[in-house]
Chains A and B, each alone.
Chain A
Amino acid sequence: MFDSLAEKLQATLSEVRQHGTLTEQDIDGAMREIRLALLEADVNFKVVRQFTAQLKERCLGADVIGKLNPGQQVVKIVGEELTELMGGASAGLSFSSRPPTVILMAGLQGSGKTTATAKLARYLREEHSSSVAVAACDVYRPAAVDQLVKVGAQAGAAVYFRDPTHPDRDPVEIASWALERARSEGKDVLIVDTSGRLHVDEQLMAELVRIRDAVKPTDVLLVVDAMTGQDAVNVAESFAEAVQFDGVVMSKLDGDARGGAALSVKAVTGKPILFASTGEKLEQFERFHPDRMAQRILGMGDVMSLIEKAEQQFDEGDARELERKLRRNEFGLDDFLDQLKMIRKMGPLSSLLGMIPGFGGQQLKNMKVDERELDRIQAIILSMTPEERRRPELIKGSRRLRIARGSGTNVQQVNKLVKQFGQMRKVMRQVGRGKMPDIGALMRNAR
């Protein structure tokens, strides 16, 4: 996510950091680099011009020229401006005081509306314990209704739809009918999925306005593909003019898209990015935090998100039990397997690493996390007896061979795991006794 942009900005800023003092030329040079990085990230041309002008003014105003260690100051300013560009403080959805809260989804064809609708439904059900219904108002794209019926059900939402044989297939009618139904069934939230439409298609834009007027949504969300280029601004301006959307859902942020276009949308329309869709799975959908994202782009990590993700997976009782085991040196391969599973539930390892300060950008690019390696480790542990998992030192000779066969690996791989686990236990014992382990030595041993 934003990797290339992050990489470029980090390179530019580390260059700036190295200077003992800065001249105006140094700053000009840095601004040129930043300008190019943003353009390549598809940030709108006009937004880039404004952004770099403002950045330069602030840098000069902050009196960094001639000062000692001015780089840190510049980095701080870039971080602040980037946060501002992405929307300042994180914004949220509005909820109606009289349910159902109605959320209208709009966007171009292929921007990911139907997927975003289902993901939002799941999010609201899980995070806000809302009862959610989704309305299938995309009557144009073949099989769009079928798709929402399927993903809506996966998300645990009620799906309101009319099948193709129904005499009245007007999307405005369907939306009103769905709203009535959501009311009578006492739903907290109704999400109205609409068909994708071009912002220059007057007829379909007028239809969208009619749908909005019929259901009077609490929130109108524009779904923007993170890979959109310079045109994103035209699209957003047209949709803003027609339906005054309240916020943006950025889709397909899991690629190497630099998402610059979506950032421009905020700059041009003033509407915040509320959610980011970061993967194929329904749960890969999160609140968008501009400040955290700015930090991630600048390689400062996103510890807050990491902690939140961890909190979702680990419960306090488990944590205490784990601590007790560590202190008593009872931490076995079974516990290790549990930990591994929990960490993997938090998401792909590469995305977790991106949240750690110092990782991201260049470092991540050179480090391919092989998830299959983890699959192998799980298979090896699962092929052990409970006794072996508690006391890995038992694993010798024929046991080793049996485990290797059972897990489809070889004896060397089993050996390696047992050895590494032994070292890990040693480190844990030290930590348990309040000593800091030698991380460097540990990393060397692990190879």
Chain B
Amino acid sequence: MARDWSDLFITDGPAAEGAPDGSRGSRDGGGEGGRQRGGLFRRLRESMAKTRQALGSEIQATLFGELDEQTWERLEEALIMADVGASTTASVVATLEEEAVSGKLEGGQALSERLIELLADTARVGEARIDIRAKPTVIMAVGVNGTGKTTTIGKLAWHLRNELGVSVLLGAADTFRAAAAEQLEGWAERAGCEIVTGAEGSDPGAVAFETIAQARSRGVDVVIVDTAGRLHTQDDLMGELGKVRRVIERQLEGAPHETLLTIDATTGQNGLRQAKLFAETAHVSGVVLTKLDGTARGGIALAIARELALPVKLIGVGESVEDLRPFDPDDFARALIAES
């Protein structure tokens, strides 16, 4: 059972005061909301099904057949192909093999269930939810260029606004990429929230500062600060990111309350380096795994969870606003290996 938006956020009460009329419609809307949700899960399952088609038969033939050296090798291949990476793959398969050989597990069904469990457990690290009880809660989005930061922020703002009815202020601290602020402005309009922008090339720290200052004076519930995409190896730009974070820290105690790193699901083993270096500079607290709607399986998220103890909190499975979803470790693990 996939987690819902209300499970993802830690809030004070069932609904925030001052929510605009009808903003919670999609959750409370009875029949329509239910249909829509059914649609969401179907969409999630469908996009995950592509993964299954690629992995399902291979794993099935492997685990339900005669267990031998080749079983484990083929299983390793399948996980490597899903970008899980050599060391996480080796660890998961070794545990499974050990339990199978010792007689703890018998039969293809038990083996595949246990495999799903092992994969899900690997993904289950740290705090999986986002605490938005602080007023204002500051969420910072960081990541490499083109991983989908701005889009994720736009959709997150939409959900906070329309599913939870909280007020949101966006801060366009990506002052580097041409037209980044315009892109976020488009999202602010769709989500129905305000936005603070700075001139292109201006100091991103100043934009972050101004955003939080405005949020405090207006009594906004959640602030989401967008930052420019940068490669984790660009020391000067990473230094700038550290500075933006320090500006936020100094301005509001406890902020940023959440720092989300967007990782493109098509990313290979380099994703681990990205996560490590961003975690060092920006103290990342969660991962948003984007672009899961292609044929990529996003296995790198498992490696990141295992080696850096960073949980995935959100996944992106498509272009539309409903396609940003809370992450569910069991669904994710099942989708990695289940048959179609």
Task: Give A residues with C-beta under 8 Å from B.
Answer: 36, 39-42, 45, 108-112, 141-144, 146-147, 149-151, 198-200, 225, 227-232, 234-235, 252, 254-258, 260-261, 280
Contact = CB atoms under 8 A, between A and B. Distances in A.
Contacts of B85: 40
A200 B269 contact: no
Nearest to B277: A256
Contact of A199 (B186, B234, B295): B295
Contacts of B83: 42, 229-231
A423 B283 CA distance: 46
Nearest to B154: A142
Given A42-B268, A110-B148, A260-B268, A230 B81 contact: yes
Contacts of B80: 39, 45, 230
Given A142-B183, A255-B232, A255-B233, A227 B291 contact: no
Contact of A147 (B177, B233, B268, B273): B177
B178 A252 contact: no
Contact of B231 (A109, A200, A255): A255
A122 to B, nearest CB: 14
Q: Which of B82, B291, B293 has the most CB of A within 10 A?
A: B291
Contacts of B264: 110, 225, 227
A230 B82 contact: yes
Contacts of B145: 110, 112, 252
B183 A200 contact: no
21 contacts: A39-B86, A42-B268, A110-B147, A110-B264, A112-B145, A142-B183, A146-B182, A147-B178, A147-B180, A151-B178, A227-B264, A228-B268, A229-B269, A230-B80, A230-B81, A231-B297, A234-B295, A256-B273, A257-B270, A258-B269, A260-B268
Interface in B229-259: 231-234
Nearest to A229: B268
Contact of B182 (A142, A257, A260, A280): A142
Contact of B294 (A39, A231, A260): A231
Contacts of A234: 294-296
B81 A227 contact: no
A109 B86 contact: no
Given A227-B144, A234-B295, A260-B268, A36 B86 contact: yes
A109 B268 contact: no
Given A227-B270, A231-B266, 19 more contacts: A39-B80, A39-B86, A40-B86, A42-B269, A109-B146, A109-B291, A110-B291, A142-B182, A142-B183, A147-B180, A227-B274, A229-B266, A229-B271, A230-B83, A231-B83, A231-B294, A254-B233, A254-B234, A260-B268
B79 to A, nearest CB: 10
B158 interface: no
Q: Which of A36, A227, A257 has the most CB of B within 10 A?
A: A227
Contacts of B270: 42, 227, 255-258
Contact of B178 (A142, A150, A258, A260): A150
Contacts of A198: 291, 293-294
A45 B79 CA distance: 11
B161 to A, nearest CB: 18
Given A110-B145, A141-B183, A227 B271 contact: yes
A252 B274 CA distance: 13
Given A198-B293, A255-B231, A255-B233, A230 B268 contact: yes
A335 to B, nearest CB: 29
B267 A228 contact: yes
B300 interface: yes
B110 interface: no
B50 interface: yes
Contacts of B147: 110
Contacts of B144: 227, 252, 255
Contacts of A231: 83, 266, 294-297
Nearest to B190: A142
Interface string B125-149: 0000000000000000000111110
Given A42-B270, A110-B264, A228-B266, A143 B179 contact: yes
Given A198-B294, A231-B294, A254-B231, A108 B266 contact: yes
B121 interface: no
Contacts of A149: 179
Nearest to B89: A39
B77 to A, nearest CB: 6
A144 B293 CA distance: 21
A252 B206 CA distance: 28
Given A142-B182, A261-B268, A112 B146 contact: yes
A234 B265 CA distance: 14
B278 interface: no
Contacts of B209: none
A253 to B, nearest CB: 10
B332 interface: no
A422 B275 CA distance: 46
Contacts of B231: 252, 254-255
B81 A143 contact: no
Contacts of B295: 199-200, 231, 234-235
A147 B177 CA distance: 8
A147 B180 CA distance: 8
Contact of A143 (B148, B182, B268, B269): B182
A299 to B, nearest CB: 19
B187 interface: yes
B269 A40 contact: yes
Contacts of B177: 147
Contacts of B232: 255-256
A303 B197 CA distance: 46
A207 to B, nearest CB: 14
Given A199-B295, A225-B266, A229-B269, A45 B77 contact: yes
B179 A146 contact: yes
B266 A232 contact: yes
Contacts of B273: 255-256
Interface in B264-306: 264, 266-271, 273-274, 291, 293-297, 299-300
Nearest to A111: B146
Interface in B154-182: 177-180, 182
A41 B270 CA distance: 8
B293 A227 contact: no
A231 to B, nearest CB: 4
A111 B264 CA distance: 10
User: Which 9 residue pairs are nearest across A and B when measured between Cβ atoms?
Assistant: A229-B268, A110-B146, A42-B268, A146-B179, A150-B178, A142-B186, A231-B296, A143-B182, A229-B83
A112 B264 CA distance: 13
A142 B182 CA distance: 7
B179 A235 contact: no
Interface in B196-235: 231-234
